[in-house]
């Protein structure tokens, strides 16, 4: 192969405009968030007594990062 025929190693990520899209490199954050939701739901469900506690626990499990960041900012005095 001469130089014109060699394929660039980044061509797999280019669209028709020549822009790079790395869709196959970012699934780790979603998996971590999913495990966090599952873990938070287990924690909240263990402490639930009424059906409204289960509903509130499910909602809290979905937004647990907001609680985490709020607590972190409170501890840092921000």
Residue 63 CA to residue 61 CA, distance in Å, equals 6
Does the residue 51 lie in any domain?
Answer: yes
Task: Give backbone dihedrals phi and psi of 16, rounded to 5 degrees, phi first.
Answer: -65, -20
Segment 1-11 shows an average pLDDT of 51
Residue 56, number of CB atoms within 10 A of its CB: 13
Does the residue 16 lie in any domain?
Answer: yes
Say which residue the tokens 């506690």 belong to. 53
Residue 16, number of CB atoms within 10 A of its CB: 5
pLDDT at 4 over 70: no
Does the residue 4 lie in any domain?
Answer: no
Does the residue 3 lie in any domain?
Answer: no
* DSSP 8-state symbol, 8: P
Residue 60 CA to residue 37 CA, distance in Å, equals 9
Write out the residue range of the structural domain in which residue 35 sits.
11-76
* Overall pTM surpassing 0.75 (yes/no): no
Confidence of residue 23 (pLDDT cuts 50, 70, 90): low
Structurally, how many domains does the chain consist of? Answer: 1
Does the residue 2 lie in any domain?
Answer: no
Does the residue 25 lie in any domain?
Answer: yes
């Amino acid at each position: 192969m001469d130089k014109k025929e060699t394929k660039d190693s980044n061509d797999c990520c280019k669209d028709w405009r020549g822009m790079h899209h790395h869709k196959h490199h970012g699934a780790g954050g979603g998996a971590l968030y999913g495990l966090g939701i599952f873990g938070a739901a287990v924690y909240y469900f263990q402490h639930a007594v009424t059906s409204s506690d289960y509903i509130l626990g499910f909602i809290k499990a979905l937004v647990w990062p907001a609680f985490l960041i709020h607590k972190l900012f409170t501890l840092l005095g921000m």
